[in-house]
Amino acid sequence: MALHSVDLLEHNQQYAAALSRAAGSAYARVRELYDKKEGDGFKKVLHKAALPKLPEGKSAVLYEKKIDFGNYLDHISKAVQERLRLIIERLTSLKSSFEKNKRGEALGTDGLISPNKITVSSSLVDGHPLQAFIEKDKPLSAADFSSFFNSEFSSIRLDNIKISADKERAVIFASNGATHQSVWTRDLAAIGLAKFDMGEYAMAKRIARALYEGYNLDEMRAKLDQFMSDNRGHNRDLWNSMESVRNLPHIKWDFDPDEVKLKPYSDPQGWSMQQIDALGYFLQLLIKLQINNDIDIKKWDAELGVSSDSHKQSTIVQLTRFLRNIEYWDQTDAGAWESGHDVADRRASSIAPCLTALKLIKGYCERKNLADENSDQDSLFEISGVNYSKERFLWDLDTAIQNGEAALFGGKIKTNEEYSPYMNAKKDQAYESRIPVSEEDADSKARSKFVQESEVKEFDRRPMDAALLFILSINDPIDLGLSREQQKAILKQVYKLMGQIAVKRYEKDRYMGENWIYNPICDSFNRKGEESNETVSDYHEAEWCLFDPYLAVANYNLFLESKGKDVESFLRADMHVRRTFAQINKANTKHTRRNLADGKEDWKDIPAGDVLESYWLDSTNSDDKVWRVGENSDFNWAKIALQLMLVKGANASRLFEKMYPNGWHQEDNEILKVAT
């Protein structure tokens, strides 16, 4: 039967469209045969509908007949040839894809976990206020997101964020509860970056101002000044000394909500301040606001008494020099989990945000022609200092970026003898990649193979760590220069930590793990004792609620970046939205915690609707193991991550509905990109 008729030489685009419709017909027939378990008819259908016969002359009539593909390729345009090849290649792989789904294999076509293998715990769903959203049989729509945004549940619970603010600055509390009243640079910067990404620039600006004033305090400037030496050994020794917590700029702050001002943490010896990533995120927030013309750092400096006359450099310059001088690319730190000095290591999740920030600063300086010999070296921010110039600042930036890229992606560090031999490392120093580099011109099979075979490493002793996810969610992977394959390679590593309820931080995580409140060996942070933890083979780590919304964000970004083609990423994101909804505390709960002073147990009320920090497994009754909510609830960082997830989800769903108005079947992913 004839399907279509065109003038082949003059109407190649129409011809290609006809071929697509033919391929779609073939696909529909294959699905029908597959559903009827008539797989033997697959090859016949493949040749009947996908390939048209080319008669003599200029006109082409499409017949449902098997013909010789090679006989007519020379008669059609290169573009149509390529389209035909794609159709044939993907139709040919359709049957094996169906068989994989039938066997329940865990991998999708891109080498990541298949969307239908991301599950939601039924124990959380039953009776949940959001059960209708969680159990919907189709991907959540833009209307669903709008409905959720406008719901009473969202306005009362998710928008209830404890904040102290005035016209210029804002500080968001770590939690609305009583257990977290300190303020962390990382939390504030991550929230500020999320607000920026959601277009809430005024709030991002006020958060940045509060942090900027904190690092401009005389005590903080003095701590940064210690690292302005060209003596490489001095800088590294000062950072790594056991007393370094006293010497480092603070990452945790005391807070006076009445004045909306950060104050130095009152017990710096009781907290590890070796957290490079937090400074990287703060720098990113500053420079993004500057690039977007939301702030004027030069003006802020003047208001805070920073100028060449005061012999003070801008905080953005000080922090850039600080990262370069401690050699952030080759430096141990406590990382996102604020680990103790004994487990400090060189972390990919700490290098990446610093590298991203420095690349943004360099790009801004280039756009403003700071390197031009006629430009005022203090035109952007106060650079002038003792034996310091804009040329040196730009060299510091360039060196820190190249060495950061070498440490993250593999390669040799940059050396330069122009300024000081103390600043140079050994010329033969090189690094293995933490994030493997993919081939830019690789085909789809090679890209999928790259994701499946490459291994991203947080650090050597712990390659799997959920902090890697922050590179794709708090951090902008495009600003860092990550390819889609590198992003998916990072996700592959994080997916290994996905649990029944949420996501583990890392394997054998001792913090608030299985049965932690019953364990007599608890330190001041209520961690399960090392001995009992390491000897239990089936030990369950705590599972954290911060990661599913960020997994949704990372997957939605991949879908949006692909302009709607990467549907598997969209479907994965959709499942993480459902898991995030399910993790919200569904009913009023009493949480037990152990009083470390007298060993007695006390109780804490956790209301329904609280966004939680984590869940832990109570296995004291082997016949009735229960996942219980962690003690830190109403976690504001997780709330902001959830809000960002909703914004990304609404945008992605609008694009999905525009591209696929007739819906989508999960097994359709690869073939319908071509056949529709």
pLDDT digits (tens, 9 = 90+) for 628-646: 888 777 888 999 999 999 9
Confidence of residue 85 (pLDDT cuts 50, 70, 90): low
Spatial distance between the Cα atoms of 298 and 144, rounded to a whole number of angstroms: 44
219 inside domain: yes
Could you give the number of structural domains in the chain? Answer: 3
| pLDDT reading at 199 higher than 60 | yes
If asked whether residues 513 and 560 sit together in one domain, one would say: yes
pTM, two decimal places: 0.81
| pLDDT reading at 529 higher than 90 | no
127 inside domain: no
If asked whether residues 416 and 509 sit together in one domain, one would say: no
Exposed / middle / buried, residue 127 (Cβ in 10 Å: 0-12, 13-18, 19+): exposed
Phi, psi of 628 (to 5 degrees): -110, 155
Return the higher-pLDDT residue of 424 and 246: 246
234 inside domain: yes
If asked whether residues 419 and 484 sit together in one domain, one would say: no
| pLDDT reading at 79 higher than 70 | no
136 inside domain: no
- Please give the average per-residue pLDDT across 390-397, as a whole number: 90
Confidence of residue 548 (pLDDT cuts 50, 70, 90): very high
If asked whether residues 425 and 359 sit together in one domain, one would say: yes
Question: Of the ranges 29-43, 158-172, 287-301, 343-357, which one carries the lowest mean pLDDT score?
Answer: 29-43
For the chain, report the end-to-end CA distance as a whole number of angstroms.
21
Q: What is the pLDDT of residue 444?
A: 67
Q: What is the pLDDT of residue 95?
A: 44
Cβ atoms of residues 474 and 353 within 8 Å: yes
If asked whether residues 388 and 465 sit together in one domain, one would say: no
If asked whether residues 391 and 485 sit together in one domain, one would say: no
If asked whether residues 518 and 609 sit together in one domain, one would say: yes
| pLDDT reading at 598 higher than 80 | no
607 inside domain: yes
- Please give the average per-residue pLDDT across 641-655, as a whole number: 95
Spatial distance between the Cα atoms of 671 and 93, rounded to a whole number of angstroms: 9
Return the higher-pLDDT residue of 309 and 532: 309
If asked whether residues 52 and 199 sit together in one domain, one would say: no
Closest by CA position to 98, among listed 675, 674, 671: 671
- Please give the average per-residue pLDDT across 53-72, as a whole number: 38
Return the higher-pLDDT residue of 156 and 150: 150
If asked whether residues 404 and 520 sit together in one domain, one would say: no
- Domain extent, residue 61, equals 5-105
Q: What is the pLDDT of residue 7?
A: 34
Residue whose token pair is 């040196």: 392
Handedness of CA 567, 572, 577, 578 (dihedral sign): positive
If asked whether residues 403 and 497 sit together in one domain, one would say: no
If asked whether residues 408 and 461 sit together in one domain, one would say: no
Residue whose token pair is 């290994």: 496
Report CA-CA distances (Å) from 381 to 1, 220, 298, 363, 385.
73, 19, 5, 15, 12
If asked whether residues 174 and 246 sit together in one domain, one would say: yes
Confidence of residue 584 (pLDDT cuts 50, 70, 90): very high
Q: What is the pLDDT of residue 662?
A: 73
129 inside domain: no
Among candidate residues 399, 431, 463, the one where a domain is terminated: 431
Question: Of the ranges 313-322, 380-389, 567-576, which one carries the lowest mean pLDDT score?
Answer: 380-389
